[in-house]
Structure 1
Amino acid sequence: MHRQFIADLQARDNVDEIYRVADKQVRSNRQGNDYLLLQLMDRTGQISGMRWNAGQSLYETFQKGDFLRVLGTTQLHNGMLQIIVQDFETVHPSKVTHEDFTKTNPGEVEQLLEELRERLGTVKNAHLKRVVQAYVNDEQLIDKLRRAPAGIKTHHAYEGGLLRHILDLLRIAEAIAPNYPQLDREMLLVGVFLHDLGKLDELSFDGDLSYSDSGQMLGHLVQGTIDLDRRATQIAKETGLPLPDPILWRLQHMILSHHGQLDHGSPKIPMTIEAIVLAHIDDLDAKVNAATELIESDRNTDSDWTAYSPIMGRKFFKPSANKATGS
């Protein structure tokens, strides 16, 4: 039977397919009746599912990260496709095809890792090189990086998304660096590599996509800074060559300031040239990725505009996702 991928669903389709639960909530309508709001996903995207007249008892029969066989009908609501769920049942992970639920196949992940190592391998500064090696030689960290998303909902929120985000930023950084001779290219590359690695501890991604307890309390900027300090201490212990304080501080500053503004979660605003570049290209990559996914998930063919996105604070012109043609 042909799989009903989320990206292929159209309004008024009858649905009988297995999807993974990215999120679930119990809500009440205006009449005070409970219903389930589900976020269902496969490798092609995410879609909301509404199960009316269902409360806490049904909510507790499955968990985020579980696979559900969903029966229902699709409909458009405010320009967004959703599934009105008539029934569902949990499906054991052994009964599903893993490749249907990840955007990045294992072979592609290994190619991305190889490119990551090649780009970081151009770092010649001895101190920065030892920092890079402390991370890339950590097999446990690399295994997490193979699987980690960069976000929960809108920012490369899929298996391998963090690796792709880091590599995209390394490519952008390499393209920018020649235009600014005052920029320390190697410092920028290493800062780009390190900036989001705290998400390996901030996020939980072995089942459902959620935040770990330490991630809720500290956040990945702080967690990444703490981890870098720990690795710098280990480097000094193993090699007898301490990381010079100015290098450590500049790398930690890039991690702490990469959200760019205090009200965006950075405890410090960027105060080095490399930190300024990192904050801007990080914001660029996240926003372009989020906008692209919003455009691709919008199913309202009667308009060239997406529905309003509360997260992004705007609508998007859908043809802008296609390359311009003509003279």
Structure 2
Amino acid sequence: MEEFRHEFVEGPDANRLHVATLGEGPLVLMVHGWPDAWISWRPQMRAVAAAGYRAAALDVRGYGGSDAPHEISAYTMERLTRDNEAIIRALGTDGKAVLVGHDWGAPIVYATAYMRPHVVRAVIGLSSPPAPAPAKKPSEAYAELYPDKLFYQAYFTREEGVAEAEFEADLERFIRVMHFNLSGDTTLADPVEALVRPAGSTTLLDGLPEPDPFPAWLTREEIAEYADHFRSHGLRGPLNRYRAQDIDFDEMQVYKDRKIEQPAFFVGGTREPSRHMQGFDRYADPVRRYADCRGVYLIEGAGHWLQREATDELNARIVDFLKELDS
């Protein structure tokens, strides 16, 4: 990884944010989700840098080389969008950036676009579509949606420390099982089974299949590398993003009717496990909050990890969009 430069930016709470960069030119900032790290973007960083841009990928607060505050309130959408703004101001040549977000990174990117539009040129969303504002607090919605089964977000938020203990007991198993079963290569009959466990379940991972054989995009070396990213801080910070959603519900009311006005497009995999987790197809109309939609692309057979499962197609979509944006 010597090709990547590693920088630290001071965030709005005097928190330290680790950012990897590659190339020179207009800034393209990539924001990962859960359970992930900046390293997931390496293939896209190389492609974007080769196209004449400065590719940057951060460790979101709570992850890897970035600081991990303890309190849940440190992980609200308002705080995370201010982190993005701090990085853009520090690294962008003109104070703006194209934002690319995956999983939780996508909602963070969307919120940055409509909460801090002055620093966002354009938006690319992966896997998680820009949903309308929720009608009720997520904790209330979980209880109604899955009263008997173990829904992963309810498990994360119900009692602090429980999910941390399960995942941190064997970080490599956690990464191996989650990355495999959220992918298009899972052997689960229905991909959503990785996120919604049967009635009576008390853990998330037990009962989920192991990769055998490993898919080409997932190696033992990479699993070890991901696990290392979680050793310093553990899982509390990443899980606090889920726990902060009820705070977001109140703080984000002022933005509930906001659209993403910047040029934007969306990419998802047809086997994305979260696609049907709310009882309907989230991809049926995935871009209701895009005012200037430049395309919706579903990659056949791909699951959640588009950066690695569908590297070539995703890279081509991103580079084509950037060239069109600057033509």
Compute the TM-score of the two structures, normalised by the length of structure 2. Answer: 0.25
Compute the TM-score of the two structures, normalised by the length of structure 1. Answer: 0.25
Which structure carries more helix by proportion? 1
- Structure of greater Rg: 1
